[in-house]
């Protein structure tokens, strides 16, 4: 590990949000892949190889409804009575029944269509007869029939590389014939909160002490982004203790996240430690909340230094930490997802800084969702996070954004 301090002029900033995120994502490696069996443990993981079908699905022409398999050409008029010559159930061999002209067969949903049949008459169009059925409506050729291979065929791409798997993706994944999927390895994340005054949630506070409010939120955000919390620690404002804790945490992690200690206060030791013993790539982003943000490398880990205020820490981790974890896992597009919303009120903001207001959304059928600021926007007011549905992304230019403006918003995880 380098001991000589990094030159101050080598540290850049402030950057725009897009510039900072782009540099961060480009600076972290993809952590490799692993095979995971098809199941709930795949949800939230990123595919590092596309999934292609190994099978034909359905493997035979199958009924989409309970009813009677017929030759459409036999049903030239209605009502029409046809003799019932057998039944096909789910699991019946596709060639176990051949339909003679002028006859029909009962067929259940998902069962193979008898040989010779080309249509299904739903039960609702009949009297549901057992030996002879009376048909009241004429089917078109192919009615209620799923063609062989209409869902999947061997070699067809089912899910693309870089996709973050959702619960609903597991159905086509399983249907493809794959027993496991190749996904990115989950990043190990160490979270270190700094400050003499910080105490665990639920503990008894002494004079001047406060609860660790950012830490629990960051742990949940890390897990939600597919990461593993490998270490969780709190350290006081002692430069030697800060150094020791950062060195230990970096050994256990792919990403080292710190809370506090990266601003310009007399007791902010994190940034100085990283600059002296690691590499600080940039410091400060032209945004609010979260301007004193640092990024670089420390030991074997990428380093993300978050502001100490709980709202700032949460917002900046959503904007930068979650994309970093996504990039490490091989995401096709690690940037936060945005939606368009319309402001329902004038919103003031600092000139020259991109701002991320916590806001509530109101559904409006036929129109874009409406957005209102969720109360006090101070970076120390955690209640604004609980009340918010999204972060409004307001541009750097201008001291206000007018009511009726359409802006981007990041849904809160």
Q: What is the tens place of the pLDDT at every residue in 18-55?
A: 999 999 999 999 999 999 999 999 999 999 999 999 99
Non-local (6+) Cβ contacts of 338 within 8 A are 393, 408, 409, 410
Q: What is the pLDDT of residue 10?
A: 65
The pLDDT-based confidence of 3 (bands split at 50, 70, 90) is very low
Residue 66 · residue 121 · CB < 8 Å: no
Question: Do 172 and 192 fall into the same domain?
Answer: no
Is 277 within a domain?
A: yes
CATH of the domain at 405: 2.40.340.10
Task: For 130-145, write each residue's pLDDT tens digit.
Answer: 999 999 999 999 999 9
- DSSP E strand stretches across 274-397: 279-283, 287-288, 294-298, 301-306, 339-343, 347-348, 354-362, 370-373, 390-394
Is 1 within a domain?
A: no
Q: What is the pLDDT of residue 261?
A: 80
Residue 200 · residue 214 · CB < 8 Å: no
DSSP sequence for 135-189 = E-SPPPTTTTEEPTTSSB-TT-EEE-TTPBP-GGGHHHHHHTT-SEEEEEPPPEE
User: What is the pLDDT averaged over residues 361-373?
Assistant: 97
Task: For 116-173, write each residue's pLDDT tens digit.
Answer: 999 999 999 999 999 999 999 999 999 999 999 999 999 999 999 999 999 999 999 9
Is 223 within a domain?
A: yes
Question: Do 210 and 245 fall into the same domain?
Answer: yes
The pLDDT-based confidence of 91 (bands split at 50, 70, 90) is very high
Looking at the structure of the chain, the number of domains it has is 4
CATH of the domain at 42: 3.90.105.10
User: What is the pLDDT averaged over residues 277-306?
Assistant: 95
Is 123 within a domain?
A: yes
Can you give the residue range of the structural domain that contains 164?
34-55+154-183
Residue 61 · residue 144 · CB < 8 Å: no
Is residue 8 scored above 70 in pLDDT? Answer: no
Task: For 260-278, write each residue's pLDDT tens digit.
Answer: 888 766 667 899 999 999 9
CATH of the domain at 76: 2.170.190.11
Is 345 within a domain?
A: yes
Among residues 283, 221, 274, 214, which one has the least CA distance to residue 249? 274
Non-local (6+) Cβ contacts of 230 within 8 A are 188, 189, 190, 252, 253
Is 46 within a domain?
A: yes
Is 305 within a domain?
A: yes
Task: Record the tokens describing residue 121, joined without a space.
Answer: 């008459």
Is 334 within a domain?
A: no
Question: Do 223 and 361 fall into the same domain?
Answer: no
For residue 385, say if its preceding peptide bond is cis, omega within 30 degrees of 0: no
Question: Do 389 and 369 fall into the same domain?
Answer: yes
Strands 255-259 and 188-194: parallel
């Amino acid at each position: 590990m380098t001991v000589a301090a990094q030159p101050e002029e080598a540290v850049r900033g402030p950057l725009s949000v897009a510039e900072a995120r782009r540099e961060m994502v480009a600076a972290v490696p993809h952590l490799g892949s692993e095979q995971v069996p098809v199941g709930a443990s795949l949800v939230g993981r990123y595919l590092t190889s596309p999934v292609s079908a190994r099978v034909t699905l359905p493997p035979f022409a199958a009924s989409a409804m309970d009813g009677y398999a017929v030759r459409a050409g036999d049903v030239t008029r209605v009502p029409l009575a046809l003799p019932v010559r057998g039944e096909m159930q789910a699991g019946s061999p596709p060639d176990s029944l051949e339909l003679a002209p002028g006859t029909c067969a009962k067929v259940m949903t998902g069962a193979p269509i008898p040989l010779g049949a080309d249509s299904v008459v739903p039960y609702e169009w009949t009297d549901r007869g057992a030996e002879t059925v009376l048909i009241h409506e004429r089917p078109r050729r192919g009615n209620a029939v799923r063609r062989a291979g209409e869902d999947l065929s061997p070699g067809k791409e089912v899910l693309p590389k870089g996709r973050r798997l959702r619960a609903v993706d597991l159905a086509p994944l399983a249907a493809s014939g794959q027993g496991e999927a190749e996904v990115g390895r989950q990043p190990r994340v160490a979270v270190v909160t700094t400050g003499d005054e910080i105490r665990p949630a639920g503990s008894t506070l002494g004079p001047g002490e406060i609860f660790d409010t950012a830490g629990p939120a960051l742990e949940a955000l890390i897990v939600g982004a597919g990461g593993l919390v490998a270490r969780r620690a709190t350290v006081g404002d002692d430069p030697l203790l800060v150094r020791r804790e950062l060195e230990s945490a970096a050994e256990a992690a792919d990403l080292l996240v710190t809370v506090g200690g990266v601003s310009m206060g007399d007791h902010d030791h994190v940034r100085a430690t990283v600059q002296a013993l690691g590499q600080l790539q940039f410091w400060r982003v032209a945004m609010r909340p979260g301007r004193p943000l640092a990024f670089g490398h420390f030991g074997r880990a990428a380093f993300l230094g978050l502001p100490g205020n709980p709202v700032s820490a949460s917002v900046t981790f959503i904007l930068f930490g979650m994309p970093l974890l996504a990039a490490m896992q091989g995401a096709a597009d690690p940037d936060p997802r945005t939606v368009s919303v319309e402001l329902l009120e004038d919103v003031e903001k600092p000139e020259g800084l991109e701002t991320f207001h916590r806001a509530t959304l109101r559904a409006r059928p036929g129109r874009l969702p409406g957005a209102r600021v969720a109360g006090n926007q101070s970076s120390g007011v955690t209640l604004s996070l609980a009340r918010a549905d999204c972060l409004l992304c307001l541009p750097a230019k201008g001291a206000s954004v007018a009511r009726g403006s359409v802006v981007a918003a990041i849904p809160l995880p």
